[in-house]
Each structure stands twice: as structure tokens, then as C-alpha cells.
């Protein structure tokens, strides 16, 4: 009987991220930026107050020269302080934005790393890149620019209006006269903006995906003459996006003008009403001058505020995509689980798994004893790779359970599990960096001698030593400068360096030529020693000496045993072996 699973962290998604949460990631710099921006906006009124007081003094029978000088210095001081606050606000906002976006990108990266790989595969690589890079970058713009500017635009109009109301309420209300027309135009401007934004997001996603497809498929396009077709699809999408933006600009241009013109005409209304009242003797010239100076501060910030609202809609879409990724439930994490000791056998117990409507495994049960080699064979689509991915806990099965060391994989601490399992797959993943950069993740503290030993054991030392800078040679994007066999040998060297007790080999020589195939299998023979080994293979002659062979057919286990016994007792394995032998005959006769 297996041990009961240890308590696990609930498999729950992250709470939705709000804009306020972004500010909380860097409260002091962002809070300081908002406070400085608001103070700067209010200080912009101080020079106008000084000019008003100077006008009153100049219109007096005996102007106060010293008072005028003091007011002038006060105005200059307010201007200097205002620009100092503005500079401080910008610096603090950018610093806070960098802190918050760094934390958000780390949170996203850690979350993606905790997801089942089938959940990651539901998102296209270009979509994930866009979310982590572009969408987070859009939120950086919100924090660095929009946040302090919006705060200032919200505070300045009511402060200016309150000041004008205190001086002359009727003329202050006249300054607000164009506002209803502007609000009506704003309503038209934002009509169906959500639908337009959703369509624009779709266009951007199409451009990103088609750009990635074109770049990734450039070799195929050149070989088959498809460059015009593949580039044409991207070009058409870009043209469609440009025409759509131009159409929206034409359609919304009148509404935007209908919003901006009334707001800017506030000064004209104040000038007309103030002139009439001045001729009637009910408004003194100094107050008239003050209103001409301050009236624009009542409504014109609303232009900036409306622009900020429009920009915020784009950032809401970016935040929605970030939240959609954060909603993906991670793999359950064990809490204070006891780490099973050797032997670490692998047990599949009534395991079923499906990809959408297609069932990959159907109640599969078998045991891979510790210290032995178990091979999984079957026709294409039988479920072999699904077995390898479940054994490595790339995701959890829909039904049943996978155990390692008599404990459910769900009950293993993920880091401890990853530390004990090494995977060599057919699709080798190499990072852009040096050869050494691609080996050290297996064991960051490995010595130079241990790295060289692993390269020798993987039959990779010969070609690595011929590289221009040896271990410090940059390998290019995804190891592009190496052959498939050389990339595989580096992958095996990495697994050897890790020295994990459990080894999963998923078609490790699928893309190797005959010479590299022999070298790789010589390396794998050393890698298998004293480990629990699970091998997925099409080349059956390579696994004929396995301690155990598990035969899959359409997701079901139809045979288990050694090569000789399966040839006698399992029709499916016998057919696979016969097909393999027939395909090998022409090569033997060459």
C-alpha cells in the first residue's frame, strides 16, 4: 500500500490583480510620486495668485513697490519648487514602476514555472511573451506616467474651481458653461470603445503570432518557395490593422474635437462675460485678470484626464491578460512532506489522461522497479510520450495516480522531485548562452573536472573541445550552431552531471544520424547504470535487452515482460517487432 499523500497547498489560482496592487508593490516611490505631482499641480496656481495680488497693488492709488518685489520672488520660488516637485515625481514614478514591474515579471515567471506543462502549452509562445513583456510593459507606462499625471489632473480642477467660486461665484459658474457639451461629446467618444479595444487586441495578437510563424518557418519558406505566401499573410494583417486604426481615427475625430473645443472655449466664455460685467462696474479689473489666468485650469485638465481614461482601457486589457495567466491553477505543492528514500520505483496505478476529446491513456497500470530499465513501446499515438511526461510530473493525470518511491507524485515537494528526476527528450531544449551555461543548471556547484567527466561520458567532449572558446562558446538560439546529435549529447551530459536516481529517456536518439546514434547509446548505457530508467523508443532493437517492456495500444497496457516472452505472448508487440525488422532489412543489405 502507498503512503497517504502529505498535505498540499490548495490547487487554487492567484487572486485577481488590481491596479491598486501594482501601487502596493512599490508604495513609497509611487505614493511619493503621486503626492509630488499633486503638490506641483497646486503650486501652479501660486504664481497666478501672485499676479492677481500684483495687479491689485498696481491698480491701487499708491502701489507698494516692496510688496510687488516680494510677490515676484514668491512667484519665482513657487515656479522653481513646482518644477523640482515635477522632476522628483517623474523620478520616483519611474523608480516605483521598475520595482513593481520587476516584481510582477518575477511573479509571472514563477507562476508559469509552477504550472502543469499542458496549461503552458495552451498559451502560444508569442502570447506568453506578449503577456510577460508587452503587457507588463504597458503597466509600467501606467505607473511611470499615467498615475502621477492623472492624480494631478483630478486634483487641480476642483481646487481651481473652489478658489474661483470663493472670489466670484457667478463668473466661476460661467467658466463651467461649456462642460455639458464636452461631456456629451465624451459619451460619443467612448461609445463601443470596449468592442473596439477587443478587436484591436485580436489584431495585435494576430500580428505577433504571424510574425513568430514567419520567423520560425523561414527555412521551410525558402525551401518550398512559400516566402511570398507566408509574408503576404503577415503583410495583409498589418495592413488590416493600419486601415482599422485609420478608420477609428476618422470616426472618432469629430467626437474628440467636440470634446476639446468646448473645454478650450471656457476662456472665451469667461472673457465675454467678464468684459460685460467689467463695463457694468460689477467686476474689478484685477479679478477679471485672475479669472482669465485661472479659468483654463478648471476644464483643460479634463482633456488630459480623458486621454488617461482611454489609455487606461488599453491597460485594463493588458491586466486582464495577465490575470488570465495568473488564474491558471498551479501544480499542488506538498507541505512538510517526508522525502522517500531509495529505492525509487515508478508505479502507474489505473492512470487515465486525455487531451481534449482524445484519450491518450486508459486505466494504464504497471511498475518500473528501481534499478532496472523499463521500456515503453507502441505505435504512434499509443500514449508513450504521455507516460514520460506524467512520470516527470509535467502535469497530473485526469484519473488514477503515479507514484515514485511508494508516494504519490502529488505528495512530493516539487523541488525535491525535480532534483531526483533527469529527463532526456527528443526535443532538446538549449538556452541562448554558452555551453557551460547549458550544463550548470543541472548542478550549479559542479567543478570543472566534474563537467569534463560528464562531457566525456556523454561522448560530447570531442566536439566541445574543437569549439573556438570551448565551454565558453556561445551556442546560438536553441543551439542552432550544433547538429541534432550534438545537441542530444549535450543534453545527456547535462543529465549525467545532475546524477539523478531516476532517468526518463523519451526518444533520445530520434533525430540522430547513424554515427551519433551509436555514440549517444554508448553514453546512455553509462547513464542507465544503478538508476530507475524509463525509456520511450521506436527503434526496438535498442530496447530488446531491457529488464521489462510495457506495450501500449491506444492508451491501454496490452503486454508486460521481457523481449522473448512478449514475442511469444503479445500479438501487438510481435507485430511491432516484425514491422521494425522489415524496415531494418534494407539498411542491413546496403
Q: Are 397 and 350 in contact (CB under 8 A)?
A: no
If asked whether residues 318 and 449 sit together in one domain, one would say no
Residue 528 corresponds to which cell in the numbers above? 542507465
* Residue owning grid cell 551555461: 437
The pLDDT assigned to 31 comes to 93
Is 269 in contact with 178 (CB distance < 8 Å)? yes
pLDDT at residue number 5: 45
Categorise residue 225: left if φ over 0, alpha if ψ from -120 to 50, beta otherwise.
Answer: left
Residue 356: its pLDDT value, please?
A: 82
How confident is the model at residue 537, as a pLDDT? 78
Do residues 435 and 472 make contact, with C-beta atoms less than 8 angstroms apart?
yes
Percentage of residues in the chain having pLDDT higher than 90: 42
**Within a domain: residue 223?**
no
pLDDT at 100: 95
Residue 402: strand pairing partners: 348
The model's pLDDT over 205-219, given as tens digits with 9 standing for 90+, comes to: 777 667 766 666 666
Residue 351 lies in a domain: yes
Question: 566 lies in a domain?
Answer: yes
* pLDDT value for 253: 61
Only one residue has cell 495583409, namely 236
Ramachandran bin of 413, using left for φ above 0, alpha for ψ from -120 to 50, beta for the remaining angles: beta
**Residues 14-52: pLDDT tens digits?**
578 998 999 999 999 999 999 999 999 999 999 999 998
Predicted confidence band at 237 (pLDDT cuts at 50, 70, 90)?
Answer: confident
What does the pLDDT look like over 269-287, one tens digit per residue? 999 999 999 999 899 999 9
pLDDT at 559 over 90: yes
Q: What is the pLDDT of residue 352?
A: 96
Confidence band of 484 (pLDDT split at 50, 70, 90): confident
> Residue 294: which residues within 8 A CB-CB, separation 6 or more?
45, 48, 160, 163, 164
Q: For 368-410, what is each residue's pLDDT tens digit?
A: 999 889 999 999 889 999 999 999 999 999 999 999 998 999 9
Across the range 460-479, mean pLDDT stands at 84
Q: How confident is the model at residue 312 (pLDDT cuts 50, 70, 90)?
A: confident
Region 65-82: mean pLDDT is 93
Higher per-residue pLDDT: 351 or 193: 351
68 & 137 share domain: yes
Both 311 and 350 in one domain: the answer is no
CA distance 267 to 276: 14
Mean pLDDT over 474-499 rounds to: 81
Convert the pLDDT of each residue in 575-586 to its tens digit: 999 988 877 665
Do 317 and 411 reside in the same domain of the chain? Answer: no
At 260 the three-state DSSP class reads helix
The candidate with the shortest Cα–Cα distance to 229, out of 244, 217, 247, is: 217
Clarify whether residues 366 and 278 are in a common domain. Answer: no
Q: Tell me: pLDDT of 6 over 50.
A: no
Question: Residue 75 — very low, low, confident or very high, per pLDDT cuts 50/70/90?
Answer: very high
Question: Residues 300-309: what's their mean pLDDT?
Answer: 81
CA distance linking residue 42 with residue 33, whole number of Å: 14
Classify residue 54: in a domain, yes or no: yes
Give the number of domains in the chain.
2
Is residue 259 one of the residues assigned to a domain? no
Residue of 139, 138, 179 whose CA lies nearest to 301: 179
Enter the DSSP assignment of 375: E
pLDDT digits (tens, 9 = 90+) for 238-269: 777 777 667 666 666 666 677 678 888 888 89
Is 156 found in the same domain as 58?
yes
Whether residue 165 lies inside any domain: the answer is: yes
Question: Which cell goes with 219?
Answer: 527555412
d(Cα 444, Cα 505) in Å, to the nearest integer? 22
What is the DSSP code (8-state) at residue 14? P
Cell numbers given for 42:
497646486
Hey, how many other C-beta atoms are within 10 angstroms of the C-beta on 311?
Answer: 16
- 7 three-state secondary structure: coil
CATH code for the domain in which residue 52 is found: 1.20.1560.10
Q: Where are the beta strands (DSSP E) in 308-398?
A: 346-355, 358-368, 373-378
Residue 129's nearest CA partner among 226, 205, 31 is 205
Phi first, then psi: what are they for 382, rounded to 5°? Answer: -75, -20
Q: How many CA atoms lie within 13 A of 588 on its CB side?
A: 6
pLDDT (tens digit per residue) in 333-363: 776 667 777 779 999 999 999 988 889 999 9
**83 and 174 co-located in one domain:** yes
> Bigger pLDDT: 180 or 565?
565
Q: Would residue 470 count as lying in a domain?
A: yes
Contact yes or no for 415/338 (Cβ under 8 A):
no
Mean pLDDT of the chain: 84
Q: Residues 106-138: pLDDT tens digits?
A: 999 889 988 888 788 888 777 788 889 889 998
Q: How far is CA 486 from CA 108, 460, 526, in A?
A: 33, 7, 17
Note the pLDDT of residue 588: 43
Does a structural domain hold residue 230? Answer: no
Determine the angle formed by the axes of helices 65-114 and 147-167, rounding to 10 degrees.
150
Strands 532-536 and 502-506: parallel
For residues 136 and 168, membership in a common domain is answered with yes
pLDDT of residue 524: 65
Q: Give the model's confidence band at 10: pLDDT under 50 very low, under 70 low, under 90 confident, else very high.
A: very low
Are residues 293 and 376 both part of a single domain? no
If one counts every other C-beta atom within 10 angstroms of the C-beta of residue 445, the result is 6
Cell of 127: 502570447
pLDDT on residue 511: 59
* Residue 304: alpha-carbon gap to chain centroid: 30
The 10 Å Cβ neighbour count of residue 363 is: 14
Side-chain half-sphere exposure of 74, counting CA atoms within 13 A: 17
**309 pLDDT band (50/70/90 cuts)?**
confident
Residue 508 clears pLDDT 80, i.e. is over it? no
Q: Is the pLDDT of residue 2 over 50?
A: no
474 φ/ψ angles, rounded to the nearest 5 degrees? -75, 130
Would you state the cell numbers that stand for residue 496, as one nine-digit string?
549525467
579 and 445 share a domain?
A: yes
Cα distance between residue 432 and residue 105, in whole Å:
20
Same domain, 276 and 423: no
Residue 532, judged by CB atoms within 10 A of its CB (0-12, 13-18, 19+), counts as buried
Distance in angstroms (rounded) separating the CA atoms of residues 563 and 570: 10
| Better pLDDT: 558 or 302 | 558
Q: How many CB atoms lie within 10 A of CB 65?
A: 9
Computed from CA positions of residues 121, 124, 125, 128, in that sequence, does the dihedral angle turn out positive or negative? negative
Residue 91's alpha-carbon distances to 50, 143, 149, 308, in angstroms, are: 29, 11, 13, 20
> Are 458 and 322 part of one and the same domain?
no
CA 390 – CA 372 distance, rounded (Å): 19
Query: Is the separation of the CB atoms in 500 and 420 below 8 Å?
Result: yes
Q: Cα 352 to chain center, whole Å?
A: 31
CATH number at residue 519: 3.40.50.300
Q: Do you know the residue count of the chain?
A: 590
Which residues constitute the domain of residue 391?
346-589
pLDDT: is 155 or 225 the higher one?
155
Amino acid at each position: 500500500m502507498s503512503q497517504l499523500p502529505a498535505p498540499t497547498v490548495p490547487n487554487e489560482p492567484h487572486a485577481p490583480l488590481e491596479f491598486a496592487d501594482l501601487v502596493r508593490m512599490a508604495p513609497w516611490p509611487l505614493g511619493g510620486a503621486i503626492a509630488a505631482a499633486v503638490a506641483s499641480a497646486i503650486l501652479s496656481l501660486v504664481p497666478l495668485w501672485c499676479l492677481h495680488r500684483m495687479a491689485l497693488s498696481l491698480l491701487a492709488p499708491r502701489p507698494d513697490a516692496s510688496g510687488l518685489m516680494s510677490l515676484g520672488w514668491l512667484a519665482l520660488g513657487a515656479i522653481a519648487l513646482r518644477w523640482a516637485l515635477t522632476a522628483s515625481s517623474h523620478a520616483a514614478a519611474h523608480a516605483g514602476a521598475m520595482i513593481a514591474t520587476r516584481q510582477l515579471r518575477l511573479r509571472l515567471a514563477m507562476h508559469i514555472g509552477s504550472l502543469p506543462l499542458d496549461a503552458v502549452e495552451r498559451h502560444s509562445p508569442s502570447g506568453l511573451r506578449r503577456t510577460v513583456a508587452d503587457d507588463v510593459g504597458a503597466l509600467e507606462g501606467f505607473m511611470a506616467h499615467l498615475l502621477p499625471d492623472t492624480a494631478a489632473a483630478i486634483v487641480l480642477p476642483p481646487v481651481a474651481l473652489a478658489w474661483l467660486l470663493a472670489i466670484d461665484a457667478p463668473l466661476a459658474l460661467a467658466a463651467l458653461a461649456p462642460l455639458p457639451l464636452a461631456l456629451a461629446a465624451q459619451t460619443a467618444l467612448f461609445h463601443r470603445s470596449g468592442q473596439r479595444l477587443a478587436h484591436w487586441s485580436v489584431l495585435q495578437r494576430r500580428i505577433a503570432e504571424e510574425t513568430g510563424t514567419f520567423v520560425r518557418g523561414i527555412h521551410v519558406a525558402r525551401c518550398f518557395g512559400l516566402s511570398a505566401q507566408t509574408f503576404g499573410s503577415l503583410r495583409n494583417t498589418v495592413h488590416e490593422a493600419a486601415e482599422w486604426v485609420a478608420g477609428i481615427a476618422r470616426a472618432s475625430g469629430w467626437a474628440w474635437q467636440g470634446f476639446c473645443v468646448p473645454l478650450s472655449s471656457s476662456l472665451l466664455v469667461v472673457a465675454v462675460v467678464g468684459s460685460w460685467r467689467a463695463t457694468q462696474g460689477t467686476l474689478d479689473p484685477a479679478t477679471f485678470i485672475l479669472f482669465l489666468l485661472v479659468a483654463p485650469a478648471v476644464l483643460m485638465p479634463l482633456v488630459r484626464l480623458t486621454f488617461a481614461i482611454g489609455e487606461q482601457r488599453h491597460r485594463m486589457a493588458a491586466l486582464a491578460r495577465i490575470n488570465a495567466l495568473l488564474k491558471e491553477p498551479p501544480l499542488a505543492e506538498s507541505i512538510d512532506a517526508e522525502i522517500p528514500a531509495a529505492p525509487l520505483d515508478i508505479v502507474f496505478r489505473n492512470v487515465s489522461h486525455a487531451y481534449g476529446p482524445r484519450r491518450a491513456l486508459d486505466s494504464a497500470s504497471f511498475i518500473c522497479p528501481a534499478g532496472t530499465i523499463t521500456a515503453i513501446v507502441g505505435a504512434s499515438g499509443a500514449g508513450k510520450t504521455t507516460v514520460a511526461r506524467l512520470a516527470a510530473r509535467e502535469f497530473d493525470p485526469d484519473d488514477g495516480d503515479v507514484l515514485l518511491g511508494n508516494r504519490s507524485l502529488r505528495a512530493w515537494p516539487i523541488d525535491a522531485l525535480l532534483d531526483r528526476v533527469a529527463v532526456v527528450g527528443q526535443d532538446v531544449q538549449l538556452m541562448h548562452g554558452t555551453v557551460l551555461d547549458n550544463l550548470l543548471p543541472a548542478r550549479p556547484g559542479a567543478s570543472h573536472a566534474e563537467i569534463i567527466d560528464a562531457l566525456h561520458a556523454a561522448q560530447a567532449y570531442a566536439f566541445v573541445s574543437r569549439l573556438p572558446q570551448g565551454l565558453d562558446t556561445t551556442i546560438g538560439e536553441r543551439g542552432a550552431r550544433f547538429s541534432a546529435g550534438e545537441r542530444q549529447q549535450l543534453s545527456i551530459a547535462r543529465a549525467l552531471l545532475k546524477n539523478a536516481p531516476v532517468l526518463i529517456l523519451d526518444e533520445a536518439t530520434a533525430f540522430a544520424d547513424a554515427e551519433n546514434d551509436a555514440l549517444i547509446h554508448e553514453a546512455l548505457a553509462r547513464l542507465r547504470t544503478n538508476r530507475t530508467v524509463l525509456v520511450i523508443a521506436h527503434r526496438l532493437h535498442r530496447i530488446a535487452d531491457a529488464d521489462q517492456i510495457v506495450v501500449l495500444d491506444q492508451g491501454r497496457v496490452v503486454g508486460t515482460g521481457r523481449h522473448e516472452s512478449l514475442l511469444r505472448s503479445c500479438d501487438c508487440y510481435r507485430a511491432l517487432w516484425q514491422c521494425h525488422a522489415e524496415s531494418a532489412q534494407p539498411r542491413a543489405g546496403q
